Homo-oligomer: A and B are copies of this chain.
Amino acid sequence: MRNKVSLKDIAQKVGVSTAAVSYALNKEKEGKVSDEMAAKIRATAKELNYQPNQIAKSLKIGRTNTLGLIIADVSNPFFATIARVVEDEAKAHGYTVVFGSSDEKAERSWDLINVLANRQVDGLIIAPSEASEDQILYLKEQKIPFVLIDRYYPDIPSSFVVLDNYKAAYDAVFHLIENGRKRVGMLAYKTNLYHMQERKRGYQEALQAAELPVGKSLLKEVKHDDTKNGVKAAIDAMLASPEGLDALFFATNTLAIHGLKYIDSLNLKVPTDLAIVSFDEGEAFDFYYCPLTHIKQPVDEIGKEAVQLLLDQMSSSNGRIGQIHFEPELIIRQSSGA
């Protein structure tokens, strides 16, 4: 096979046992081999271009120095950025990242967890899908270290790094109301995931605080599997409401992108006809004719903290958990009519 050079080859060439070679190449174990011998072995290793087989090493020592990352979709910029940050941070600590996209599907998420766990990743960072509580419980039961990101299950104690989604939504909607909007709609995804529930709660409580009516007619939920048409239908429905619509809050960047395209096609003007606030950033938003007011998540910090928490958890014998809520930042531009 490839990568022929093994400890054995070096041992043979130098005329010692593989144990000697192993000791010599693991500098930590100073003193187990004489300096001359060590030098000779190291020279031969270099000469043969020896590269240790990590698979064999992992099998023996029980660690792989690999972290698993499960996100909803790498092709979504929010997750792609997280992936990049996690990758860099992991690398800085000597870990490699194996990743997979769950597509928000519990089944794919299960598959990924199994594949990664069977490959013995040392820990997992997961943006969990809907109805995946059993997976999280499984990980706890198996004592596989993990950290959740973006979403979490309030009923299951675990480590996580998330945004204060309630506050984010509250601030966003409050900002719209503050600027005179009275008919504020919200476009969300149809899911029980906590982050989405919190965003909806933030929206509703901001309306309540302003003594505006909180009904179902202005809070529309779209299914994941046909975002595009769902968004159109939802916007149509809101616009058709007898009292009209003068502002729209998008619960995610994907919803905003589809929503804005549709709004443009209807020739509605932002912010005159409709004020807009969206979640997350996106290169796209910078090019919209009316720069978007949006909620900014500290993506870099989220990724870094997640890795940090995971490594902490892995090194502590008791699976100590850490829970981090980041504060959202509302970036005010022109789309909210401020």
Chain A contacts to B: CB under 8 angstroms: 1-3, 51-56, 58-59, 62, 64, 66, 73-75, 77, 80-81, 83-84, 87-88, 91, 96-101, 114-120, 142-144, 257, 260-261, 282-289
Contacts and interface: CB of A to CB of B under 8 A. Distances in A.
B74 A87 contact: yes
How many chain copies?
2
A73 B64 contact: no
Nearest to A289: B289
A14 to B, nearest CB: 22
Contact of A84 (B74, B257, B287): B74
Contacts of A144: 2-3
Contacts of A97: 98-100
Contact of A59 (B56, B66, B261): B56
Nearest to A260: B287
A59 B55 contact: yes
A143 to B, nearest CB: 5
Contact of A115 (B77, B96, B115, B287): B96
Given A3-B142, A51-B114, A144-B2, A73 B62 contact: no
Nearest to A282: B283
A276 to B, nearest CB: 12
B75 A80 contact: yes
Contacts of A260: 287
Contact of A101 (B87, B96, B114, B257): B87
A142 B3 CA distance: 6
Nearest to A114: B51
A253 to B, nearest CB: 9
12 contacts: A2-B142, A3-B120, A55-B119, A66-B119, A73-B84, A75-B80, A75-B81, A87-B101, A91-B100, A98-B98, A282-B283, A283-B283
B54 A118 contact: yes
A142 B81 CA distance: 33
Contacts of A2: 142-144
Contacts of A91: 100
A3 B96 CA distance: 21
A260 B55 CA distance: 48
Nearest to A73: B84
A56 B286 CA distance: 50
Contact of A83 (B59, B74, B120): B74
A3 B55 contact: no
Nearest to A283: B284
A97 to B, nearest CB: 7
A74, A77, A83, A118: most-surrounded residue (chain B CB, <10 A): A74
Contacts of A84: 73-75, 101
A217 to B, nearest CB: 28
Given A52-B118, A53-B118, 10 more contacts: A55-B55, A55-B64, A56-B59, A77-B80, A96-B98, A98-B99, A282-B283, A283-B284, A284-B284, A284-B286
